[in-house]
Amino acid sequence: MTGVDSVYPFGLAPAPGRQRRIAVIAGDGIGPEVVAQALRVVEPLGVPLDIEHFPWSAEHYLKTKETLPTGALVRLRDEFDAIFFGALGDPRVPDGVVARDVLLGLRFGLDLYINLRPVQLLDERLCPVKGKTRRDVNFWVLRENTEGPYVQMGGSFKRDTPDEVAISEDLNTRRGVERIIRAAYTLAKVPHGSAHPTPRVCMVDKANALPHAHGLWQRTFRVVAAEHREVQSSHLFVDVAAMEFVRTPERFDVVVTSNLFGDILTDLGAAICGGLGVAASGNIHPGRCSLFEPVHGSAPDIAGKGLANPLAAFLTLAMLYDHLGEAHCGDRLRKAVEQVVLAGRVTRDLGGTLSTSECGDAVLAELATATRN
């Protein structure tokens, strides 16, 4: 962004003469509200998509006891090009089983090892840090997406007694660590409007406290960095990285980190761009069916009130178009969102007065204006 059209290195092979097939999982809470807005741009963007909706959600689970049905993974992998996902999470299902089975199930089952999360400021007025410009806050976080504590290895013993023991293992494999670090270098080498002349990769871990798991990250990083002398490679411990996201975001182009740290750091990344209402993400396996979702959750506190900001969903759909090899649509959509933000036609979380659907109207109007000019 920031005046540079996207060059996305993880996309699908071209499929001339065939409509792309998109699975939509709108989910819970504000998921369906923001997904409905984003899908309004598909027709005006002019690249016909073959869309199929899937009902997996808390509502569906409460009715049927089904989360991710048998066969769904294979079908999605073999018959679809991408998945557009809203959010999962509902207070009526307090143990989060639907999100675990469906969202984590798809991340693991489709081996979507790259969680790509842009931290790109659209308007200086949205940054809560004094004096930071759009050039300063313009980087990518690559979060490892198939390992770490998310694999849910572990268990508990003497549950619900004073002697309870609970263990969650942090799984890290050489293959898993190496492939996400390599993806960071691949991304660093494509232009993305950084103000810095040489591309930079920063690896974030906590090897000082976790010498086994994160020692593996450090050793792997050194090997891969040595193969990319043209890239400036650096390292930060995650506590300092959190501070630097706020203090000097301009030092980052590509940040690569583990699953859990990436989860936490990207909500912080969203905060320096104006909040979760503008944070997009892709769960990607290069060249394969991948899943695109806003960083935010189902926001039960504002669901059903017309308050949800749909811009993260629009920006997420833009990433999905990049993956399909239709970056011209992605770029048009990002520019429309940018214009809407600059014009202050936004929802309350960004200081505006618009409802979810009025903000959607504004994006559509902006696309129409851009097409006429």
The catalytic position among 263, 321, 322, 349 is 263
Among the listed residues 170, 293, 326, 366, the single contact to ligand NAD using CB under 6 A: 293
Q: Which tokens in the block code for residue 38?
A: 């984003």
Helices 327-342 and 311-323: angle between axes, nearest 10 degrees: 160
276 binds, among Mn ion, ligand NAD, ligand IPM, none (CB under 5 to 8 A by kind): ligand NAD
Q: Which tokens in the block code for residue 155?
A: 């268990």
DSSP 8-state assignment for residue 146:
S
Closer of 93 and 99 to ligand IPM (Cβ) = 99
Distance in angstroms (rounded) separating the CA atoms of residues 131 and 260: 30
CB atoms within 10 A of CB 322: 25
The catalytic position among 50, 239, 301, 305 is 239
Q: Does 49 bind ligand NAD (CB under 6 A)?
A: no
Distance in angstroms (rounded) separating the CA atoms of residues 330 and 312: 13
Known catalytic membership, residue 185 = no
Query: Hunting for tokens 């090892």 — which residue is that?
Result: 113
216 binds, among ligand NAD, ligand IPM, Mn ion, none (CB under 5 to 8 A by kind): none
Give the alpha-carbon dihedral of 351, 127, 116, 224, to 10 degrees.
Answer: 180
Among the listed residues 26, 241, 276, 327, the single contact to ligand NAD using CB under 6 A: 276
The catalytic position among 90, 132, 206, 322 is 206
The catalytic position among 267, 331, 335, 361 is 267
Residues in contact with ligand IPM by the rule CB under 6 A: 99, 103, 263, 295, 297
Known catalytic membership, residue 95 = no
3-state secondary structure 347-368: EHHHCCCECHHHHHHHHHHHHH
Residues in contact with Mn ion by the rule CB under 5 A: 263
184 binds, among ligand NAD, ligand IPM, Mn ion, none (CB under 5 to 8 A by kind): none
Closer of 203 and 265 to Mn ion (Cβ) = 265
Closer of 282 and 352 to ligand IPM (Cβ) = 282
Q: Which residues pair with 282 in a beta bridge?
A: 116, 292
Q: Does 308 bind ligand NAD (CB under 6 A)?
A: yes
Q: Which residue is nearest to Mn ion (CB)?
A: 263
Q: CB neighbours of 307 closer than 8 A, spacing ≥ 6?
A: 347, 348, 349, 355, 356
Q: Does 297 bind ligand NAD (CB under 6 A)?
A: yes
Q: Does 306 bind ligand NAD (CB under 6 A)?
A: no
Distance in angstroms (rounded) separating the CA atoms of residues 246 and 36: 33
Q: Please give the sequence-ordered ranges of beta strands (E in DSSP) within the chain, or none if there are none.
A: 20-27, 49-54, 82-87, 114-120, 138-144, 154-157, 165-168, 200-205, 232-237, 254-257, 280-284, 290-294
The distance of closest approach from Cβ of residue 77 to ligand IPM in the complex, given in angstroms and rounded to an integer, is: 20
Q: Are 284 and 114 in contact (CB under 8 A)?
A: yes
Contact set for ligand NAD, span 57-96 (CB under 6 A): 87-89, 96
The distance of closest approach from Cβ of residue 26 to ligand IPM in the complex, given in angstroms and rounded to an integer, is: 15
312 binds, among ligand NAD, ligand IPM, Mn ion, none (CB under 5 to 8 A by kind): ligand NAD
Known catalytic membership, residue 263 = yes
The distance of closest approach from Cβ of residue 309 to ligand NAD in the complex, given in angstroms and rounded to an integer, is: 3
Contact set for ligand NAD, span 243-272 (CB under 6 A): none
For residue 293, give Cα distances in angstroms to 82, 207, 210, 316. 11, 30, 30, 6
The distance of closest approach from Cβ of residue 277 to Mn ion in the complex, given in angstroms and rounded to an integer, is: 14
Known catalytic membership, residue 267 = yes
Known catalytic membership, residue 158 = no
Q: Which tokens in the block code for residue 60?
A: 């569906």
Closer of 295 and 299 to ligand IPM (Cβ) = 295
Enumerate the active-site residues.
Answer: 150, 206, 239, 263, 267
**Residue ranges binding ligand NAD (CB under 6 A):** 30, 34, 87-89, 96, 99, 103, 276-277, 293, 296-302, 308-309, 312, 349
